[in-house]
Amino acid sequence: MTIRARREPGYVIVTVAGEIDIATVDRLRERLAAHGVSLHVVCARPQTRRLFRVTGLDRQVPLARNLAEALHALDDGREARPS
């Protein structure tokens, strides 16, 4: 798994490439939580969103359709809604 981070005012965008599944999501979450951050996945592709639902990853990691939706969820202090 490859992780890249880009700092923006008030948040960090992390791009992850490689296998992210139920076996690796906890490790990724632990690495990010060590830095005191929340993780929201931004994914607009219906096929990928469906894969998150089928595998149950949408219950582990909140999904957002775009960056604005994820930032809104963070501003509200809540998780993005899985859909």
Which pLDDT tens digit goes with each residue over 9-52?
Answer: 877 787 877 887 778 878 777 767 766 666 788 888 898 889 88
What DSSP designation does 17 have?
A: E
d(CA 24, CA 68): 26
The alpha carbon dihedral of 68, 14, 50, 77 has a sign of negative
51's CB contacts (< 8 A; 6+ apart) are: 57
Q: Which domains does the chain have, with CATH numbers?
A: 2-75 (3.30.750.24)
User: What is the value of pTM for the model shown?
Assistant: 0.61
